[in-house]
Amino acid sequence: MSPRDARHPALSAIDPDLAALIGAEETLQAETLRLIPSENYVSAAVLEASGTVLQNKYSEGYPGRRYYEGQQNIDRIEALAVERARALFGVDHANVQPYSGSPANLAVYLAFARPGDTVMGMALPMGGHLTHGWGVSATGSWFRGVQYGVRADTGLIDYDEVRETALRERPKVIFCGGTALPRTIDFAAFSEIAKEAGAVLVADIAHIAGLVAGGAHPSPVPHVDVVSTTTHKTLRGPRGAMLMCREEHAKAIDKAVFPGLQGGPHNQTTAGIAVALREAAEVSFASYAHAVVANAKALAEALLARGFDLVSGGTDNHLVLMDLTSREVPGKVAAKALDRAGIVVNYNTVPYDPRKPFDPSGIRIGTPALTSRGLAPDHMPAVAAWIDRGVAAAASGDEAALAVIRKEVAELLTAYPAPGLPVA
């Protein structure tokens, strides 16, 4: 039996084609530098908990209040995940059932708004999320979405603009947070604005949940009504989500998730979340969270030293947004070339981007995954040099240069095995 078959013996026997594809993905994740800031490597323990017989169980409802029998263990697993979330984030109430970030945010709207109501969030091209009221999302067509952005000159949120818009539009719900924000979010400032406007304030911390848990980004908890987060980004859990809130909103949130929006929770995911939350409570996780930020800052500095333009001029968190306009390479061309060089990023709009979202000016990079492998600030000049060479090769169409980078990247990474993956 090959080492790959030994890792997935039943699957290899029943469905060798699929086993081979999973094996190929393991190799890809091991040999490439994964810089997509919303991705990470979960631990072997999270992987194990997420792939269990918990798959087999239906459990609509909440612990102690289910619509199916046989919940002796499921109730305890969900209660454990809830308790760990409450303790880690210091919240009154946690719901660990949302299937992912978008359904979690939909549940928030269901709890606090009615179709046609005004809701407010950061514009998608400015770094917000689709579900923060952007037009092409259900949240922007079922509700009247009004948006704020960042200043063109600084790339930073203009809190005066947020306040003016909120007081003019009087939204029911205001979302803060996003998917391409390299800077610290001032939750206290948002809280003052939401109070003045009479809005429910929601912090979507999907990207930074692990940084908040590890003390590397201020917590929104004292300032907001609801915290929404995915569990699979910096928090390093399985693909899922959580909603956390003050006690006064607990019933509305629970009712919105089930029966408002979802059926049975994915119990295997709940178990994986419970494990990730336990890991995130360890001292080593706080070191991880701070290392993610230290790596991102070092990478930003190294990129600036090479003349790259970064939105907002750098980063405070795990994420760097690069504007490639001055390099005369579209973001998509650069992202695809870097992929061939073994450096996995995503193309991304930059604020006030003159190009279209499917062919924008920027690329978005981040350090959660490489930090999980143990890479340190000392490595970041080399990473920046690979990106620089890769972008130059994208511009000149130099495939041979991309192949050389790919080899160098894989060589470095052999010394830094990724959590959860087989060691070659």
For ligand DSN, the binding residue among 32, 38, 50, 147 (CB under 6 A) is 38
Minimum distance from residue 50 beta carbon to ligand DSN (Å): 19
Query: Nearer to ligand DSN by C-beta: 19 or 203?
Result: 203
Task: Please give the backbone phi and psi of residue 211, each rounded to the nearest 5 degrees, phi first.
Answer: -70, -40
Size of the site for ligand DSN (CB under 6 A): 4
Q: Does 50 bind ligand DSN (CB under 6 A)?
A: no
Minimum distance from residue 129 beta carbon to ligand DSN (Å): 6
Count Cβ neighbours within 10 Å for each residue of 289-302 and write b for 16 or more, e otherwise: bebbbbbbbbbbbb
Site string for ligand DSN, 280-309 (x = CB under 6 A): ------------------------------
Q: Does 191 bind ligand DSN (CB under 6 A)?
A: no
Q: Are 315 and 342 in contact (CB under 8 A)?
A: no
Query: Nearer to ligand DSN by C-beta: 59 or 347?
Result: 347
Q: Does 101 bind ligand DSN (CB under 6 A)?
A: yes
Q: Does 182 bind ligand DSN (CB under 6 A)?
A: no
Minimum distance from residue 14 beta carbon to ligand DSN (Å): 32
Query: Nearer to ligand DSN by C-beta: 74 or 205?
Result: 205
Q: What gap in Å lies between CA 15 and CA 18, rounded to an integer?
A: 6
Minimum distance from residue 102 beta carbon to ligand DSN (Å): 7
Q: Are 7 and 422 in contact (CB under 8 A)?
A: yes
Task: Show the tokens assigned to 37.
Answer: 């800031």
Beta strands in 31-184 (DSSP E): 33-34, 61-62, 65-66, 93-95, 118-122, 144-148, 173-176
Q: Are 300 and 318 in contact (CB under 8 A)?
A: no
Q: What gap in Å lies between CA 2 and CA 351, rounded to an integer?
A: 49
Task: Give 3-state DSSP helix, strand, coil % of the chain, rounded to 5.
Answer: 50, 15, 35
Query: Nearer to ligand DSN by C-beta: 265 or 366?
Result: 366
Residues in 207-226 that interact with ligand DSN by CB under 6 A: none
Q: Does 149 bind ligand DSN (CB under 6 A)?
A: no
For ligand DSN, the binding residue among 40, 179, 234, 371 (CB under 6 A) is 179
By the criterion CB under 6 A, which residues form the site for ligand DSN? 38, 101, 129, 179
